[in-house]
Structure 1
């Protein structure tokens, strides 16, 4: 019974923290005279505060260690509940009239997918657009990690909970205490957000747009206050800034901590970071050369190629060009990036670079064994040999990832999408990428049942498949 109480208590605190984030759109509404925005945010915020205060101040703070099953249930339940909670203002304010669409928008926001049901975001109040992009920022680094950073989890070890929420095959602490790790990572995240906001203001954006798009960029989400996304600002400097920060958001945030603390060897020896930089550079150059004729010059081709590679590889989903109009050879490079993603420990989605690196290393080792049957070879990651355990972890993940994508593709065809549309949409949802049919298209027209399925896929992708899918296995519920 004590475990259940602590379970509800932590959930109440998480909800109240998300409710507190409503202060930003409420303040924006007051500043711009958008008074119709206030009540849809104020009422759920107050309810969350009352709920959170009742459980925070009520009862003793008795240390309780969650079991493995309880952790999976809690993290999955928390993300589903938060997604519903984030949809309340959008639905109550009438900006999204269909509840399934409001939930889809909220799930897309928190999971940093960036797929929208809104045809015209420019008619929305600025406070509402700010909230849409703030969801990216909150979900990008992790809501449970934020709670651990702001308020250590009342005697409950935060590592297991944060581990279940974080991304990548290896999940560890960069400081002895999980609370300090969460604070360090969120501190870096916050600092980068402030830096980008200031730079975007120098590029011509006002404070609200600069902050909003920094939320989207660092959270690798992709929502924008412009229907044409970043292209709507018609600013080369803005595109360059967003390209750089999308690339930075796709890097493992732990590496920033190591660099700040002078541990440069961690960056130098990191197999994933080197592969991430290599893939990014090679694809940008190949894509740029393939677009030279289309744009009439290498400089312009490089501008659009670098932005689109950054936005798809980091799974942000911003756009400055409609790649559906590009030559087929150019579209091929974008299509390949759908299956890669950013680095583990970043805010990006996708399968993650490290998994492909390890599978490639394993393939090379197997070929070497065929050539030299008596040789001794092993997979080396970050300079350390003998990482066969990671191969065993990654192979079933990739299998489940593609299985879910194919199931979702079939569901999409039942909803009226073509096979190709459904295929790209499914990988976009599961990889939290956003664009599928084209960077400027919205998802309002798909049937409600498909919005629920895609919402499930977005959460499954954000929680790295296992944490959500395991709840649907019979063995999980056996005593």
Structure 2
């Protein structure tokens, strides 16, 4: 294990996080918030001191393999979450550190779950930092580092595998660094485009930045207690719904569209399934909840937005789904597991994994009925590698096992099985809201410190897709 290189990578990531902490200070000055220098200045100095200590000398042995990639990424996410919570505590806007840590982890992992009962009372600088953690966590801080620094291509692929979501990670172009730049270029362009469109709909500049950052990371932090429902604008709701769906698409496809390889984008089975599920779920839920709203338009409006917000793990809301029929709430829970596409900023298990699991099940059924038949699992008309199929199955087993353990631990908080299961599902899938008291109209403020730490672990598990975080606890050979 190359510990020196791990700390060097962590230092590079923390430098980026530290520099982004300067932006809330600027926001605080604009709005005349006196606490902003201490609230963000102290964490900035701590972050930069650690970063400089880690990167003061470049390691002579710069070898990075899978283990180093996983450990460096997981350790960086844990460290930047621990430091990122300090502004909330120093400013006094979140009283205790476990709550501040929960809010920060929820931000960086783009979960969007909150312990705040009165989010509107928070200062502008802290609200901006909450949204900014979504934006940084959406594409990943490591991807930003790879985009701006020159590094060995063989090393960066191991780190990209740890950072990027999905059963398989590849390069857009021959160099990983250039791939990262392309992805971040698309990410920034889409974020700015959404902010401009929101302002065209009458949303103030500050509000537009907050919600476009949250949308980009498919996180769901809003500056209002009733989320997007505060604006009561069909235009704003549809702009956000369309963009969170677009952020839930594999970013590789946007690159194919840019270079005019339309056939590669059109033939992508995962994306076609993703849009198909959104359309089908919207129609089914609209039929189920039509009696709760006035007219077909209003019904489709809320059904479409909540389906988009759930499957992409955005966590925004325009209505209280706790008032929906149990059937519709259950369908939303199922969408939480499905999630968005691999290579997107969305959460969940990813549509590609679900497709592979279903096709693997069908393959096994065919083998049972006809052992001599030769069948393979295919995606986009091509056979899926056996290692990928096995990896997807193993991921499901680990996911369900860790979810069961987490539910058991959260029940110690005194919640019902339904509420405990809902809180774990929403955190492991990085959704932001569940059912019951944890629905869109509620929050997770009733959790004790132990449950908050457990769910922080679950959120990191979901965002890093289990393996990198688990590697922190794997015994090392000397």
Q: TM-score category by the smaller chain?
A: over 0.9
Query: Using the alignment, how far apart are the partners of 1:307 and 1:317 within structure 2?
Result: 10
CA contact under 8 A between 1:381 and 1:387: conserved in structure 2?
no
Deviations 1:328-349 (A, max 9, x none): 2222221211211111111111
Report whether the alignment pairs 1:246 with 2:244.
yes
**Distance (whole Å) between structure 2 residues aligned to residue 326 and residue 253 of structure 1:** 33
Deviations 1:367-423 (A, max 9, x none): 334454433221111210254432211111111111111111111111111100000
1:210 shift after superposition: 0.3
More moved, 219-228 vs 258-267: 258-267
Question: How big is the shift at 1:126?
Answer: 1.2
Q: Are the equivalent residues in 2 in contact too, given 1:251–1:343 (CA < 8 A)?
A: yes
- Tell me the secondary structure at the aligned position of residue 472 of structure 1: coil
Instruction: Provide TM-score, normalisation by structure 1.
Output: 0.95
Corresponding position of 2:411: 413
For residues 220-271 of structure 1, the C-alpha deviation after alignment (integer angstroms, 9 at most, x for no partner) is 1011000001111111111000100110111111111111111212212212
Count of paired positions: 475
Question: RMSD of the TM alignment (CA)?
Answer: 1.8
User: SS in structure 2 opposite 1:159?
Assistant: helix
- 1:32 paired to 2:21: no
What is the CA–CA distance in structure 2 between the aligned matches of 1:20 and 1:283, rounded to whole Å? 42
How far residue 70 of structure 1 moved from its aligned partner, in angstroms, is 2.4
Q: Which residue does the alignment assign to 1:284? A: 282
> Contact 2:13/2:141 (CA < 8 Å) preserved in 1?
yes
Q: 1:23 offset after TM fit, Å? A: 2.1
Aligned counterpart, 2:202: 204
Which residue of 217, 226, 248 maps to 1:219? 217
On the 8 A contact 2:75/2:472 being kept in 1, the answer is no
Q: Give the aligned partner of residue 431 of structure 1.
A: 429
Match of residue 367, structure 1, among 365, 368, 372: 365
Q: Distance in 2 between matches of 1:48 and 1:446?
A: 29
1:322 counterpart (315, 320, 323)? 320
Task: Describe the SS at the equivalent of 1:10.
Answer: helix
Aligned to 2:450: 449
Give 1:206 shift: 1.2
3-state SS of paired residue (2:92): coil
Deviation at residue 55 of structure 1 after TM alignment: 5.2
Structure 1 counterpart of 2:333: 335
Alpha-carbon distance change, 51 to 368 in structure 1, aligned in 2, over 3 angstroms: closer
User: Is the 1:378–1:387 Cα contact (8 Å) retained in structure 2?
Assistant: no
Equivalent residue number for residue 185 of structure 1? 183
Change (3 A) 1:430 1:69: same
Checking the alignment, whether the CA contact within 8 Å between 1:224 and 1:230 is kept in structure 2 is yes
Alignment of 1:234-313 (within 5 A): 234-313=232-311
Q: Is the 8 A contact 1:63 1:154 kept in 2?
A: no
Structure 1: stretches of 5+ with no match in the other structure: none
Cross-structure match for 1:230: 228
Alignment correspondent of 2:459: 458
Partner Cα separation in structure 1 for residue 178 and residue 296 of structure 2: 46
Distance 1:36 1:366 in 2: 61
- CA drift of 1:215 comes to 0.6
Deviation track 1:115-168 (CA, whole Å, cap 9, x = no partner) reads 111111111111111110110010111111111112234898221112111111
Return structure 1 stretches of 4+ with deviation > 6 angstroms: none
TM-score norm. by structure 2 comes to: 0.95
Structure 2, unpaired ranges of 5+: none
Are positions 1:392 and 2:393 aligned together? no
| CA distance, structure 1, for counterparts of residue 181 and residue 59 of structure 2 | 22
